[in-house]
Structure 1
Amino acid sequence: MFPWNKQFPFDQTGFTQHFNKMNPKEVENYIQSVMKNVFGGDFSQQFPFQGELLQKNKNERSSKQDSPEIFETNDYIYVKLPVSEEEIGKLKLQHTRHQFIVQHQSVETKHMLPAPVKRKGTKARYTDGFLEIQFIKLQEESISEVAISYE
């Protein structure tokens, strides 16, 4: 019978404990030295997620934290937008079938929706630092028949 209780494909005892004891800094240094040996001294220009570029991407991601999270189900589209309690009274929300618009003072941001939504029935509520918006998806499946002409 096959020994399923062992750590397949690594048949060494204590393999998991060995991995748990590894220092992430040592692993990073090892990977960096291998990369230098394979790709040369200044390999950071060849790979976009190395060195200064990595820091730039982290900064961009932190600035995008104010962008909304959009979830889609069969019947609804949910948008979760981080907003402080002081800003709630100053916000104005609008939407078309394909995008929603957030106006804060004189700044207007538009966000595309993943599917068309109905004009009415949208709900918004503020909880725990987030504005949650629920759109009803437009279930329009009308089929049009096209006549074919002979020439």
Structure 2
Amino acid sequence: PHPGNYLFLPDGRVGLLDFGCVRVFEPDFVATWQRFARCIVEERPEDFRECADALGIVGSSRYDYDAGYRVFHFIYAPMRERPFRFSKQFSKEAFDTLAWRNPNLLRSDIPPHLAFSWRLNWGLFSVLGDLDAEGDFASTFRDAIHAPVPNPVRPAPLP
């Protein structure tokens, strides 16, 4: 299960939520997201406009691309810095940066495939923040954003 599906209960027990949620990401989306992530991780703000437009997050002609780059640059800190220590404070600041302090909040689109993947990210950031997890997340992430895009594995149809 995704790390965001664990509940750490006050008495020390761990609860597990599993809703059987499955999403197939098409190769075109994966390749576009990889290009977007490379733009942020490799600190190439000059490529942000093209990558953000391709990903489908720009919802208004008044979108502030410089502010958009700064927002994602902050959020992608765990995937840029080696090592990185997650904290509750970072998780809160990352969410606040994307939501409440984001001048593009009402100028952005969130396509369905991104809504699903961002839900995974926020759950993961939250759990890693609660654990004060530290590691070289950047190396694994860089491998993923430079890897060839595989064909999707589709779940078997229900009977």
* TM-score (structure 2 length as normaliser): 0.18
Look at both structures and tell me which one has the larger radius of gyration over its CA atoms.
1
Q: Which has the bigger relative contact order, CA under 8 A and spacing at least 6?
A: 2
Q: Could you say which structure has the higher strand fraction?
A: 1
Q: Could you say which structure has the higher helix fraction?
A: 2
